[in-house]
Amino acid sequence: MKTTLQNALADYLLAMADDELILGHRDSEWCGYAPILEEDIAFANLALDEIGHASLWYTLLAELRREDPQTYADQLVFFRQAREYRNIQMVELPPGDWAFSMLRQYLFDAFEQVHLSALRQSRYAPVASAAAKVLTEELYHYRHTSAWVRRLALGTDDSHMRMQKALDALWPYVAQLFVPFTDEPLLLQEGYVPTRSELESQWNAKVTPFLQECALSLPQPSPTRYARDQHTPHLKVLLAEMQSVARLEPGAV
């Protein structure tokens, strides 16, 4: 594989892995704090799934880069600085209230549905296989979070108000999901990935009618589209905690 193509693919895989990892970490923060026991269990499952998916993408990246798949993920996860992470800002935001976390998860789950479905057709076989696997598991995520968004949005005045507030807060961050990667044309040429604009229309077709059914008002779309190397101050705080044990004793197993 030409270096430029390999770098483009590596950037893409890193972004996917980082999104899953950071979201999984945020999901795990509900452990012990969820409003009911069933949801504590549910969020623990979601967290574990997302971290497992991150691991799959980091492994593909290791194989592409000819790094040791046993150790590469740990190196990336525990020893990079915030500015080296390539996740979108939406997943690094703190949990907020229940409505916020549930809606954030739903918006990302909807993205995974369209993204992974498209990636099953990737001409890069390892990506196609991994996408097919992850998609089977993601169905349970989407069912769960869409049910909760609907339940809260159409519930009491209080739950509806919180869900609307969550949507108003999260909507500006959605645009970043659809910012094209710098070297995307190289990947498109090879048939490795779908276009971001394709993903955006599929995602909108899925999410907009659903949110309307939930009697939620869609905020104005955000004009700002940040690149993935731009993070909120929240990521540094998250990583300080997540990386603290590994950094105390690098090389420990």
Partner 1 sequence: MSHLSPDQIWHLLTKVADPEIPMVSIVDLGIVRQVGLQGNKIILILTPTFSACPALHWIEAQVIDLLRQSGAAEVEVRWSLTPPWSSDWLTPQARQALTRVGIAPPPRHDGRLEVALEQPVSCPYCSSTNTQMKNDFGPTLCRAIYYCHDCHQPFERFKPI
Which residues are near partner 1 by CB under 8 A? 38, 41-42, 44-46, 48-53, 55-56, 125, 129-130, 132-134, 136-137, 139-140, 143-144
| Nearest residue (CB) to partner 1, 139 versus 240 | 139
Q: How near is the Cβ of 137 to partner 1 at its closest, in Å?
A: 6
Please give the radius of gyration of the chain, using alpha carbons only, rounded to the nearest integer: 18
Question: DSSP state, 251?
Answer: T
Q: Which residue, among 154, 177, 26, has the nearest Cα to 96 in the 3D structure?
A: 26
| Nearest residue (CB) to partner 1, 86 versus 144 | 144
| Nearest residue (CB) to partner 1, 137 versus 168 | 137
Question: DSSP state, 216?
Answer: P
Q: How near is the Cβ of 73 to partner 1 at its closest, in Å?
A: 13
Q: How near is the Cβ of 4 to partner 1 at its closest, in Å?
A: 27
| Nearest residue (CB) to partner 1, 147 versus 237 | 147
| Nearest residue (CB) to partner 1, 118 versus 175 | 118
Q: How near is the Cβ of 219 to partner 1 at its closest, in Å?
A: 30
Angstrom distance (rounded) from CA 9 to CA 35: 40
| Nearest residue (CB) to partner 1, 105 versus 164 | 105
Contact 155, 99 (CB under 8 A): no
Q: How near is the Cβ of 24 to partner 1 at its closest, in Å?
A: 9
Residue 155 CB contacts under 8 Å (≥ 6 apart), including other chains: none
3-state secondary structure of 227: coil
Helix 157-174 / helix 125-153 crossing angle, nearest 10 deg: 150
Q: Which residue, among 193, 16, 15, 207, has the nearest Cα to 104 in the 3D structure?
A: 207
Q: How near is the Cβ of 159 to partner 1 at its closest, in Å?
A: 20
Q: Which residue, among 237, 232, 245, has the nearest Cα to 79 in the 3D structure?
A: 245
